[in-house]
Structure 1
């Protein structure tokens, strides 16, 4: 039987290749995902271990017990070459008008504990010296021997407890003595660390927060000394509760902590691979149904010459096992090759990230896809294998009629499908219509359960309603001619097979449509929330409030307005106002304000309704600011301008204004007439910018930063946040659609298999039609319409289901953010339908040619 099985596989190599491609795509996902997870884990491990330099031991205290005296004690232990604590501060470095925030760490006491390499100059050897990462030096436009300013915030306690204390900014000039490179990636997440003299770092840390303590300590052991012995000595010298680990042990622990989210990522991608394998299983089932139908006469003859049912079953399952192993091996090779290509490309695009040059093969990368792919193939072949043994030898000598759905078997299925669908829809409605306001986590769990139950109900009951939809659509097309009428009738002759084929496509399309709908709704909903939260695209202002000179000048405003992509520019004054309750003059509070006219702000703000009530006799107060200040809508307040530092009046007048609480989140807004009434002379110190709707946000903001690089102003705004948010959604959507597209491709292979089986079962019918005058073109057209109807209905139903699931998911997840805007991604849905119908047409080409090639006489002579 094995030789016969192999011979049959050689004869059916074309059809088996299609099924093999289906299983290979699914296993390629599994292999590539496992490889990617390994790369992420390895990269994280290397980055963590690189931060330990060439140390042998890592000291992890459970409290603030690792101090400088404790390190001095460790340095005196036998076998210890060096011991350092890991600490650092984020400080501002400035050179002229250029500045950056960077982590500053002390120079290691021994070269083995220094994690960065010197590429020019040297490391600090005295107070006031620093070494910079090369890219930081390039950004600040400094080199070895140049001076720069190190700026830090210092807390000065007050004279008594009630006084508290104050924060002040202190500047310190330092000299650049060297440039460094983080070749091992120890500071890959921060872009390198500034190295300073140890005494300086200790002094800066002490002034910022008291006694210096270290989160971890590094210990280098002398060559030839047993690390385990020194480990025990170090542990005995430190207080109880301090853990001493080897570098490998600590790196593994930190890697597991860092890659927890990556495990989630791996699980999500494996979920998409599972979808592809599920669809592949449906395709493989159809493929073996075709093969069994093709070999009906052969199987009957085998039964006649003595082969029993178990042998035939084993023959089909052996063929499935060989196919599963072969397809899985192809998928493993393809997945690993894809991962290697991506690794090479990413390594070239991001040379600063220390990615491995080649993928690391592990037993899991090979065995998991191989076992899963083979198991799915064998399980998918069980039903065709059982069908091959059901027909008696003599009855099997004639091709069997297409099986029909019996009501006896259908009633339990219908009940199960109905229960699952009703329960799932109910849970979805509960999650989407208010549960998220009580508990977002619970709502998400209930929504996922409801979606899963309802979708399983749809799939279980597909055999009842999918053929009906296919028949109605075919009936509409049947009015166009006899070929379409024949296609409509043939598409529903075997409801189970039609439902299985259309369902395979429905699964992939549903997920694609769901993700597209969810992404579109999330983009619109969160975009509106961002516009309400941050209505200004870009804002510019002077860096230091202590600066006496006028920074935001007319020339600067003209420079900003000239940048390509800028649509509207509004210079603003930001006085500090005192608001006194008109009914209680002794009750007052101070707040910052923006000065602008209603027309100007309406043109500039992304949410112009926030200044709808602004007038010369009103003050617009953000809802959260109103809550903080205890102001009510319609309240009368007396407004005057004061000095921000001293609180003393800076004008000789005041204005009585009515409070208008708006949807503006924070801050207050008054008109120029109000500021004039206070008599305060406040210079322009901010510029608000609105970008054109079609502007390249990232490029325009970068151009704005370059345009004002020589001026001491900051540049910020919500445009970058919105653009980043949209890029994240678009990127995730592209990845998800790309992953799910594999399931759609596999499903279309199933359409071709279904049509091939139809050709086999209808050979005599096709011959009869040819004999009475149906042309080859019309016969091919019949199969083309049938393929397009099956694929089109699957895509249409999947799009509708995906739209509904996408809306339900958006309402569940986004309702905690604000009012949810449900969107319909018409372009994406239309594209899916066009591709599906076109692919259904393409899938009918080979079966149509096979049907048209057979002459009427030959087909009628089957018996």
Structure 2
């Protein structure tokens, strides 16, 4: 039987090629999916944890200063431990001034998330490496010198009489830097200077006995081969002891890996639910294999139908049912194994090619140079592809055993619609679908109304799976009728169309299976497209709240307002005229003292003044400023936490011109200053200077291009101003999300391609079954063109009905999925991706026509006399 099976495979090479293509595509899809899942996860995590790239462990909430560094370095197994210290300094050259963040160079350069594009990192005191764009802005290159202008606090004076002395010194540019992961994109990049220099600059800003008081972050690298768990515990203990000695909160000390940090940040961005991306990735393989299985099953049905006489003759000469069954399954195993190996190789090649193309397209997201091979990537596609092929061949194998020996002597009747599905199946499938849709609605309600994203998402996913299973299982009852109804609509065009519509009902099970394969692919593509469009709008609203101001230009360099200088006259108009800038709000500010019950006696902050209506013209979201009114002080949550301010309490603000009693309104305002209406600010300081510009962009996605032009405009004024581009960080997060969703939709589109192969297989089987009928039609006058048209209409009906139903289901699942996953972020948006919908319908229409070409050629190639004679 083995030799006979191999011989039959050679004779059916053309037909097996169709099944092999489905298996290859399905297996390649699985391989690419696994690779893409790794890339999406690593890229997302790398972007979030970019500042910690290269570190083995990150100590958060540590006490600042050398004591913590020394304590951690003394832990056995620790190679290096450096505080991630950044000092903001004024750099000048050729009439241009830039206020730039400067990182302390770590002991191990591999910890830096920056790459050297020219020159080298600093090797001695008095050297500095600049971001490439900053070097261009200052018109310097490695080896050139720039001026560092900084204020030094005279520590010999009494505390109330402390004076500031400006110090100007020369620094040599050692090299230029790139920030591939956007670690410091919000700050306009980061320069690097020797740690001793940066620590000295910060120390010069402190008074006698003063310290930063802000929790520090340490980047730790470990020796090779050390036990990470034990070393981590030891580091935690050492850092906690140092924090206790410094009088800081020991419970705030946390030692994590960069990936754990990224996971926690990603969890915060998704409302505490970090399984959204992984859930999608895990189901992709199942989707591809399910669609491929349907196509494979149809293909083997074609093979069994072609071999009816051969199988019957084998029964006549003594072959039993088990031998025929084993022959079909052996054939499926060989086909599945060989095709899965080819599919794996194709998937690896496609994955590598996609990375190469992605890297060349400058997507704004750093992609790895090569794919990462893991045991799962290599073994899972081959094993699962082979098993799915084997399982898909079981039903055709059973059909082969039912071929009667007498079938070799008489024609086998084509299957008819007489055999229907059981009522039990109908009732159970409808029950599962109803329960599933109910759970889907409950998931949305939990996520939005109850504010429970985790439970809501899990319930929604369970409801989506159940409802989809119910729809697929019940498809055999209603889908052929839908195809027939569509056939009636086109039947008016002539008898050929009516014949095509009738042919779809000849075997409702196969018609349902084929259309269902396409239904699955289109539903999932539609779901992801709809969810992506809805999620993008919802996430834009969340980003608006997180980053309400696109760009800020501030001269409040110390954060206290003591050394604030007015924004240069005319700078606001200059920035307003730049391309990409929509609006500019000039914000006056002054330094004020806070007083109230429970408020820290040392509370001194910046107070800004702005009109709510004017602020609305520049802010992405005005929700945080809703309480702003006369007599009310809007206090950001971070400021309230630091100084002990509570919502609704009475605050007394004291400025240069006297006190003002206000009511505190604590909001999520992303700022470090108290906000008042202009009249209240004038009561505190009638001469409050304009120390900041709030800039709104036409499109925050263009921030990476617009922010440098704003920095150039500020640099030309020689003003010590800080340009903070929150929109750049926002754009980087959006780019990661858009790229991930694009990969997902691209992967799911492969399922549609697999399903379209099934349409061609179904038409091929239909041709085989209707050889005598086609010959009779040709004999009574049906032309070759009309026969081709009949098969084309049949293919279009099957493909288009599956696509239309898939689009409708995709819209439902996309909307509810986005609502369940992002309900925590507010009222979810409902969007229809019209471009994607029309594209899917157009592809289904064209594919239905193309799928009918090969079967039609087979049908018209046999003469009527020859076809009738064989019967």
TM-score range, shorter chain: 0.7 to 0.9
For residues 739-794 of structure 1, the C-alpha deviation after alignment (integer angstroms, 9 at most, x for no partner) is 00100000000000001111111111111112222221111111111111111111
* Matching residue of 2:253: none
* Matching residue of 1:287: 299
* Matching residue of 1:560: 575
- The answer as to 2:509 corresponding to 1:496 is yes
Distance in 2 (CA, whole Å) between partners of 1:472 and 1:291 is 30
Task: For residue 770 of structure 1, give the secondary structure of its aligned residue in structure 2.
Answer: helix
* Matching residue of 2:103: 103
* Matching residue of 1:433: 445
Query: Aligned-pair distance for 1:456?
Result: 1.0
For residues 428-448 of structure 1, the C-alpha deviation after alignment (integer angstroms, 9 at most, x for no partner) is 121112355252211111111
Distance in 1 (CA, whole Å) between partners of 2:121 and 2:59 is 30
Task: For residue 815 of structure 1, give the secondary structure of its aligned residue in structure 2.
Answer: helix
Query: Aligned-pair distance for 1:287?
Result: 0.5
* Matching residue of 1:24: 24
Q: Quick one: which of 792, 812, 816 aligns to 1:808?
A: 816
Query: Aligned-pair distance for 1:804?
Result: 1.0
Q: How many residues align?
A: 796
Alignment of 1:741-752 (within 5 A): 741-752=749-760
For residues 514-536 of structure 1, the C-alpha deviation after alignment (integer angstroms, 9 at most, x for no partner) is 11111222222333454466555
Q: Quick one: which of 767, 770, 790 aligns to 1:762?
A: 770
* Matching residue of 1:8: 8
Mean alpha-carbon deviation: is it higher for 426-435 or for 710-719? 710-719
Alignment of 1:236-255 (within 5 A): none
The question of whether the paired residues in 1 share the 8 Å contact of 2:31 and 2:377 is answered with yes
User: In structure 2, do the counterparts of structure 1 residues 265 and 432 end up closer, same or farther at CA, with 3 Å as the change threshold?
Assistant: closer
The question of whether the paired residues in 2 share the 8 Å contact of 1:188 and 1:353 is answered with no
Alignment of 1:118-517 (within 5 A): 124=123, 128-130=125-127, 132=129, 135=132, 138=135, 141=140, 143-144=142-143, 146=145, 149=148, 176=171, 179=174, 194=192, 196=194, 207-208=211-212, 216=220, 268-269=280-281, 271-344=283-356, 364-395=376-407, 397-404=410-417, 406-407=419-420, 409-434=421-446, 436=448, 437-517=450-530
Task: For residue 87 of structure 2, give the secondary structure of its aligned residue in structure 1.
Answer: strand
Task: For residue 91 of structure 1, give the secondary structure of its aligned residue in structure 2.
Answer: strand
The question of whether the paired residues in 2 share the 8 Å contact of 1:620 and 1:662 is answered with no
Query: Aligned-pair distance for 1:472?
Result: 1.0
User: In structure 2, do the counterparts of structure 1 residues 187 and 722 end up closer, same or farther at CA, with 3 Å as the change threshold?
Assistant: closer
Distance in 2 (CA, whole Å) between partners of 1:451 and 1:575 is 55
The question of whether the paired residues in 1 share the 8 Å contact of 2:91 and 2:100 is answered with no
Mean alpha-carbon deviation: is it higher for 682-691 or for 519-528? 682-691
* Matching residue of 2:865: 857
Query: Aligned-pair distance for 1:795?
Result: 0.9
The question of whether the paired residues in 1 share the 8 Å contact of 2:120 and 2:176 is answered with no
The question of whether the paired residues in 1 share the 8 Å contact of 2:588 and 2:689 is answered with yes
* Matching residue of 2:87: 91
For residues 352-394 of structure 1, the C-alpha deviation after alignment (integer angstroms, 9 at most, x for no partner) is 9999876565655443322111111111111111101112110
Distance in 2 (CA, whole Å) between partners of 1:240 and 1:475 is 74
Alignment of 1:31-70 (within 5 A): 31-33=31-33
Task: For residue 502 of structure 1, give the secondary structure of its aligned residue in structure 2.
Answer: helix
User: In structure 2, do the counterparts of structure 1 residues 172 and 663 end up closer, same or farther at CA, with 3 Å as the change threshold?
Assistant: closer
* Matching residue of 1:784: 792
* Matching residue of 1:648: 658
User: In structure 2, do the counterparts of structure 1 residues 530 and 770 end up closer, same or farther at CA, with 3 Å as the change threshold?
Assistant: same
Query: Aligned-pair distance for 1:481?
Result: 1.4
Query: Aligned-pair distance for 1:551?
Result: 2.1
For residues 412-468 of structure 1, the C-alpha deviation after alignment (integer angstroms, 9 at most, x for no partner) is 211321221122112112111235525221111111111111111111111111111
The question of whether the paired residues in 2 share the 8 Å contact of 1:66 and 1:214 is answered with no
The question of whether the paired residues in 1 share the 8 Å contact of 2:336 and 2:387 is answered with yes
Extract unaligned runs of 5+ from structure 1: 221-226, 244-252, 582-588
Distance in 2 (CA, whole Å) between partners of 1:209 and 1:95 is 26
| TM-score (structure 2 length as normaliser) | 0.75
Task: For residue 819 of structure 1, give the secondary structure of its aligned residue in structure 2.
Answer: coil
For residues 144-181 of structure 1, the C-alpha deviation after alignment (integer angstroms, 9 at most, x for no partner) is 57465497999x9xx9xxx9x99999998776568479
User: CA RMSD of the aligned region, Å?
Assistant: 5.6
Mean alpha-carbon deviation: is it higher for 811-820 or for 793-802? 811-820
Distance in 2 (CA, whole Å) between partners of 1:824 and 1:322 is 44
Mean alpha-carbon deviation: is it higher for 349-358 or for 680-689? 349-358
Extract unaligned runs of 5+ from structure 2: 204-209, 240-255, 267-273, 597-603
- The answer as to 2:713 corresponding to 1:707 is yes
Distance in 1 (CA, whole Å) between partners of 2:68 and 2:521 is 59
Distance in 1 (CA, whole Å) between partners of 2:151 and 2:40 is 36
Task: For residue 372 of structure 1, give the secondary structure of its aligned residue in structure 2.
Answer: helix
* Matching residue of 1:524: 537
For residues 506-561 of structure 1, the C-alpha deviation after alignment (integer angstroms, 9 at most, x for no partner) is 1111111111111222222333454466555544333534456542422x233223
Query: Aligned-pair distance for 1:491?
Result: 0.9
Query: Aligned-pair distance for 1:578?
Result: 11
Query: Aligned-pair distance for 1:66?
Result: 8.9
The question of whether the paired residues in 1 share the 8 Å contact of 2:587 and 2:608 is answered with no
User: Which of structures 1 and 2 has the bigger CA Rg?
Assistant: 1
The question of whether the paired residues in 2 share the 8 Å contact of 1:552 and 1:686 is answered with no
Query: Aligned-pair distance for 1:336?
Result: 2.0
User: In structure 2, do the counterparts of structure 1 residues 373 and 169 end up closer, same or farther at CA, with 3 Å as the change threshold?
Assistant: farther
